[in-house]
Structure 1
Amino acid sequence: MTVHTLVLLGTKKGVFVAESDGARTTWSLRGPYCDTWPINHVVGDPATGAIHAAGGNEWFGPAVWTSLDLGASWTHSSRGLAYDEGAEPVKAAWSLALGHGRLYAGVEPAGLFYSEDVGLSWSHVDGLQKTPTRSEWTPGGAGLILHSLVPHPDDPRQIWVGVSAAGVFHTADGGATWEPRNRGTRADFLPEGQNYPEFGQCVHCLVMAPGQPDRLYQQNHCGMYRSDDGGRSWTSIEAGLPSSFGFPAAAHPRDPETLFLAPLNGDTAGRYMPDAKAAIWRTRDSGSRWSCERTGLPQENAFLNVLRQAMTTDRLDPAGVYFGTGSGELYASADEGETWDCVARHLPSISSVETLVLER
């Protein structure tokens, strides 16, 4: 059986696909797809091989693109991807997640939709709009976006979402009701004495540890955190990192203790990798200690930024780690971050990086 490794890239000018085998030593690149729409997130379904891409903006409108032939051809649909008449219109689809026979989409302004027919039509999970605090949510720098979608692997009624800049929210009843889960996360930009609100935190990325649904990791505008109780409380794990600021986090596919980060130098200092030296930081003990992995990454004039959905892992052993930059480079490691190669350059700004590993 042949292993086929795909890295799916969402960019400001369409979808690109990098391809390799199980060794991941040589890569080919194809694209752009999706008529060069601005694409915010691309995911692949390992069960079917389908690829889905969330995109749009105020000019194009929102849509989710789908390919059933690994990118050779695409269709897109926005049917049902809208709020009721009179509400602020949906500007773009921002995030995707697969779970329990559904394809979920997070949109701007923040809302949640699902499809049960491979993206052809969409239904609104309107309970999120009915949360008591919804009218008080304020947008982050990129807008009021629902960018992190984390379905529970076993319980289809549980979902966690991350909204900038409103925080983390959880439903236990399939989306009918939602509760904020932000206790212990800071909002340093609020007035003194109001830095730990019930909601209003600027969460940047939310991921789940493999095999432990109650363990969540969160990169926030104001720190790095771990929760061991499904987000009911959060503990800071930023000690040992060069900065409390960054966007993406990527979980190991099998080890719940291992996490990868791409810290930036701060929210007002340029938002590039500290000292303009590229590095990915890794923990093997759920955030108690961090190591800095640089081998193969540029160590001079590397003014690189990595957006919230632009880092991921694959499910191979050893796990591959990948990140894309705002300046259009794709970096890959086939040994869990020990060494790195640049496998693509001069792409449009990369918004998201995900993997799809197929065995055929």
Structure 2
Amino acid sequence: MPTQILVLIGTKKGVFIARSDEERRHWELSGPFCETWPIQHVIGDRASGIIYGAGGNEWFGPAVWKSTDLGRTWTHSSAGLAYKEGEEPVKSVWSLAAQHDRLYAGVEPAGLFVSDDGGDNWSHVEGLQHHPTRSEWNPGGAGLILHSLVPDPEDPQKIWIGISSAGVFYTGDGGQTWEPRNRGTRADYMPEGQNYPEFGQCVHCLVKAPGGEDLLYQQNHCGMYRSADGGQTWQSIEAGLPSSFGFPAATHPRDPSTLYLLPLNGDIRGRYVPDAKAAVWRTRDGGETWQDLRNGLPQENAFFGVLRQAMATDRLDRAGVYFGTSGGALFASRDEGDNWACIAQHLPSISSVETMVVQQ
């Protein structure tokens, strides 16, 4: 059966899908789907072949869209995506993760929901809201959002999450109880002497390396970090990068020591690529050293940003790497970042990029 690669693109005006064969030389773009709703995150579930899109806002309300035919038709549901009466309403769904026949959704204001029927109905994982620090969580620039969802692929009870700006939290019992896991990550915006709090860090992106170990990487508002113990302790790996500030991070599909970043020039300097010259930065040794990858990327007048969920890899050999910009351009590399090409442009601002490999 021929292999097809799908790049799933969430934008401010719906979902788009770029398709190619395993050579990844020529791409076809379709969309917009989901009635041009604002979509924060789109994923493909490898187990079921279903594509899901997370979206909404205060005008549309929250919902998760679903396509069972690789994007040709879509339905959506918000059944159960609500807090109890009298609590602040759910504004939007920001993140999705499919694992162990369950679908998880992270929402704004920060909370976690789960579906056991493919996104048709949802239930609130209330343990997170009951955490004793909950009343002290403060919103980041985009709001109080649960944007990173990392279920463990081996143990269905283990989940890591990232919340702006409350930090990283972990559960080992399926969401009944949670603990902050931020030791070693800075919060430079805190008063002097309080830069390493138990919680309150503004995590931007949290990803898990492939393999059975609890190796995590985190792009933070205040640095880039690596944890070899499931987030119990973090070590800075920002030395050698052009900036300590950025949003997206993407792991290699097979090599736990290979990671991709796209740093920006800082939180108050415009939040675009440094010197307006685009580069993806790659480490092959877990953050000990970094290499800038620029071949095929614009090296002048590149005043774009890349959001926290807008970078991904595929699982082909060699792995492809993809990122989407705030200006609506989608870039792709079919050789693990060595060379790049723009495969779509003039899209709405891109919120997320994920991949899906299918056999047809």
Q: Which residue of 2 is the match for residue 303 of structure 1? A: 303
Whether the 8 Å CA contact 1:153–1:213 is kept in 2: the answer is no
Q: Secondary structure at the match of 1:126?
A: coil
Matches within 5 A, 1:1-360: 1-360=1-360
Instruction: State the distance in 1 between where 2:286 and 2:22 align.
Output: 27
Instruction: State the distance in 2 between where 1:215 and 1:48 align.
Output: 27
Instruction: State the distance in 2 between where 1:102 and 1:48 align.
Output: 11
Whether the 8 Å CA contact 2:34–2:74 is kept in 1: the answer is yes
**1:213: how far off?**
3.8
Instruction: State the distance in 2 between where 1:47 and 1:222 align.
Output: 36
Residue identity in the other structure for 2:84? D
Whether the 8 Å CA contact 2:54–2:96 is kept in 1: the answer is yes
Q: Secondary structure at the match of 1:35?
A: helix
**1:188: how far off?**
0.2
**1:48: how far off?**
2.1
Percent identity over paired residues: 73
Instruction: State the distance in 2 between where 1:215 and 1:359 align.
Output: 30
Q: CA RMSD in A?
A: 0.5
**1:304: how far off?**
1.5
Instruction: State the distance in 1 between where 2:139 and 2:156 align.
Output: 28
**1:277: how far off?**
0.2
Instruction: State the distance in 1 between where 2:21 and 2:126 align.
Output: 42
**1:47: how far off?**
2.1
**1:359: how far off?**
1.7
Residue identity in the other structure for 2:286? S
Runs of 4+ deviating beyond 2 Å: none
Residue identity in the other structure for 1:122? W
Give unmatched runs, 5+ long, in structure 1.
none
Residue identity in the other structure for 1:125? V
**1:46: how far off?**
1.7
Q: Secondary structure at the match of 1:135?
A: helix
For residues 224-258 of structure 1, what are the alpha-carbon distances to aligned partners after superposition, in whole Å with 9 as ceiling and x for unaligned?
A: 00000000000000000000000000000000000
**1:186: how far off?**
0.1
Instruction: State the distance in 1 between where 2:101 and 2:141 align.
Output: 33
Q: Secondary structure at the match of 1:323?
A: strand
**1:151: how far off?**
0.3
Give unmatched runs, 5+ long, in structure 2.
none
TM-score by length of 1: 1.00
Instruction: State the distance in 1 between where 2:130 and 2:216 align.
Output: 25
Residue identity in the other structure for 2:344? A
Instruction: State the distance in 2 between where 1:293 and 1:174 align.
Output: 39
Whether the 8 Å CA contact 1:212–1:256 is kept in 2: the answer is no
Residue identity in the other structure for 1:114? V
Instruction: State the distance in 2 between where 1:232 and 1:308 align.
Output: 22
TM-score by length of 2: 1.00
Q: Secondary structure at the match of 1:128?
A: coil
Instruction: State the distance in 2 between where 1:26 and 1:245 align.
Output: 33
May I ask how many residue pairs the two structures share in their alignment? Answer: 360
Whether the 8 Å CA contact 1:152–1:158 is kept in 2: the answer is yes
Residue identity in the other structure for 1:41? H
Instruction: State the distance in 2 between where 1:72 and 1:152 align.
Output: 30
**1:49: how far off?**
1.5
Whether the 8 Å CA contact 1:108–1:146 is kept in 2: the answer is yes
Residue identity in the other structure for 2:307? L
Instruction: State the distance in 2 between where 1:75 and 1:311 align.
Output: 26
Whether the 8 Å CA contact 1:152–1:213 is kept in 2: the answer is no
